[in-house]
A and B are shown apart, each in its own frame.
Chain A
Amino acid sequence: MTSKQQESSPVQQMIAKSRNRKGKKVIEKIIPIGLFLAASISVLTTFGIVFTLIFETVEFFTRVSITDYLFGKEWLPFSGKEPLYGILPLILGTFKVTLIAILVAVPFGLGAAIYLSEYASERVRKTIKPVLEVLAGVPTIVYGFFALTFVTPILQAIIPSLKIFNAVSPGIVVGIMVLPMIASMSEDAMSSVPKSIREGALGLGATKLEVSLKVVLPAALSGIIASIVLAVSRAIGETMIVSLAGGSTPRFDFGVTDSIQTMTAYIVQVTTGDAGYGTTIYYSIYAVGFTLFIFTLVMNLLATYISKRFREEY
């Protein structure tokens, strides 16, 4: 078609008219700005939160020495005359719960993922996966009283020395809470391993189990590790379950049958109590919150790094 014919073509004329409309150009310019603002809000909020945390944390450290905080083995903020702010007992509490949670969640979560990805029929998979995702949507407060009123009594029947508040019960329940996350993300990672690779292994006379464990699992490893690291991050930050079932006794030991206190549970204890604004206790929750933030931040960065670094190419 020559250019003259083009110009006289009615469709081309309509297109040209529409293109030259003024409003269209303005919209093209304004919309991206709006979209940019939407994206900025989450970034700005994050910065805002971090700045608040840092600000109040700095204030806290003008009152309490940073070495006492980091290396102190006693957390006694309410002991009137001489309060002690050693974070280690709280970290240890968080650590115990997280460790138990991961011991529960990784084997069962990975088992579920392997089953769903390699063994389950399409119908079973389509039934179980949504159920897992519902499990991920249960409010944590519900898990909390499930731990306190259901799991703890059962455990006490098995371990008589177990206190009503302890690390085991919330640990197990936090594990149940993060299990769907590991199962679902690992299943996604394993399902995305191409079928042709499985066929290659089957064609060599490998059994289904050998294909699952020696080909699919290693190929999906980066996704699996990322899911575990994210689960650890969630477990560290978990609040309601440990507040309800873990107790509020910061303890510097490795026992799991006694009442403990985690970093999150301490913050809940203070904010639901009547610590006055401007007191050292008030500032201490920012320091603890900041510590917690560092932990989860490192975990999340680790997850991103691992899934990039160890991505198997196929």
Chain B
Amino acid sequence: MVQILEKQQPTSPIIQLNEQSTVMESKGFNLWYGEHHALKDINLAMNENEVTAIIGPSGCGKSTYIKALNRMVELVPIVRTNGEVNYRGRNIFEKGYEVEELRTKVGMVFQKPNPFPKSIYDNIAYGPRIHGIKNKKILDEIVEKSLCGAAIWDEVKDRLNQNAYGLSGGQQQRICIARCLAIEPDVILMDEPTSALDPISTLKVEELVQEMKENYSIVIVTHNMQQAARISDKTAFFLNGEVIEFDQTDTIFSTPSDQRTEDYISGRFG
């Protein structure tokens, strides 16, 4: 069922900025934490093989939104939603949509590096293993490919059996990216992936994001506007739970159409 849907080209995206096909889109999506209306009528479309950045001041709902895209937000028990978030044309909040299935397609890299307290090898092999891949040879290949994909293979190839916690923060974050790549998702969500990293590690992760969009669609939340300008194709500006503006990154940073966007990117608030 899901595989059939994957092959279909969605035909009616809400905000279609160019000819590329939409991977994820939200239509009239609302989210509440208890009584607090955290996301208000979000309409956004994320394209294949593009980097979509979400920027905005603290508390604007950008992290909440990205966590809604793989339903991690549901770990908070008081969350309610309505409206749609479609992945390849199917509403992920629809009854009967298996959240585990969704998360194998829509992977996530978190704000703080969170490797498992296991060896580097076992960290990467964890995803494939829980999804039934047991063959040692195949696992070896996956581990190497994923670590290469996350540009950390050369640094760790001689110590795959060591605990991932022995690595630096920047290396740990790239291990987490590799762990995410190991199950070859379709979309990768990155929730402020460099906020806990030093500038050099940040640069490495940014370069990596640029390379990864060849094969993946990426949504990245960042509080760093320069980062959004450097690495993204599209940028959405969130404020108080609303999308104020969504456009080509160049446009947002050169000629934003909304005054609030301009105020934010020029550093007047936030």
Identify the A interface with B (CB < 8 A).
194, 196-197, 199-207, 210, 214-215, 218-219, 312-314
Q: Binding site of A, secondary structure by majority: helix, strand, loop or mixed?
A: helix
Complex Cα–Cα for A205 and B185 (A): 10
Contact B126 A199 (CB under 8 A): no
CB distance from B237 to the nearest CB of A (A): 26
Question: Which residues between 114 and 131 of chain B lie within 8 Å of chain A, taking CB atoms?
Answer: 114-118, 126-127, 129-131
Contact A206 B114 (CB under 8 A): no
Complex Cα–Cα for A246 and B94 (A): 60
Q: Is B209 an interface residue (CB 8 A)?
A: no
Contact A219 B183 (CB under 8 A): no
Identify the B interface with A (CB < 8 A).
70, 72, 75, 100-104, 107-108, 110, 112, 114-118, 126-127, 129-131, 163, 165, 176, 179-180, 183
Q: Which residue of B lies closest to A211 (CB)?
A: B130
Complex Cα–Cα for A218 and B114 (A): 16
Given known A199-B75, A313-B163, A313-B165, contact A204–B126 (CB-CB < 8 A): yes
Given known A205-B131, A214-B126, A313-B163, contact A200–B114 (CB-CB < 8 A): yes
Given known A204-B179, A205-B103, A206-B100, contact A197–B130 (CB-CB < 8 A): no
CB distance from A211 to the nearest CB of B (A): 9
Contact A196 B114 (CB under 8 A): yes
Complex Cα–Cα for A200 and B179 (A): 9
Residues of A within 8 A of B163 (CB): 312-313
Contact A199 B110 (CB under 8 A): yes
Contact B180 A204 (CB under 8 A): yes
Contact A203 B110 (CB under 8 A): yes
Contact B165 A204 (CB under 8 A): no
Complex Cα–Cα for A305 and B110 (A): 34
Contact A203 B116 (CB under 8 A): no
CB distance from A112 to the nearest CB of B (A): 22
Complex Cα–Cα for A206 and B116 (A): 13
CB distance from B139 to the nearest CB of A (A): 15
Contact A314 B176 (CB under 8 A): no
Complex Cα–Cα for A215 and B127 (A): 11
Complex Cα–Cα for A314 and B72 (A): 22
Residues of B within 8 A of A313 (CB): 117, 163, 165
Q: Which residue of A lies closest to B128 (CB)?
A: A204
Contact B110 A200 (CB under 8 A): yes
CB distance from A34 to the nearest CB of B (A): 42
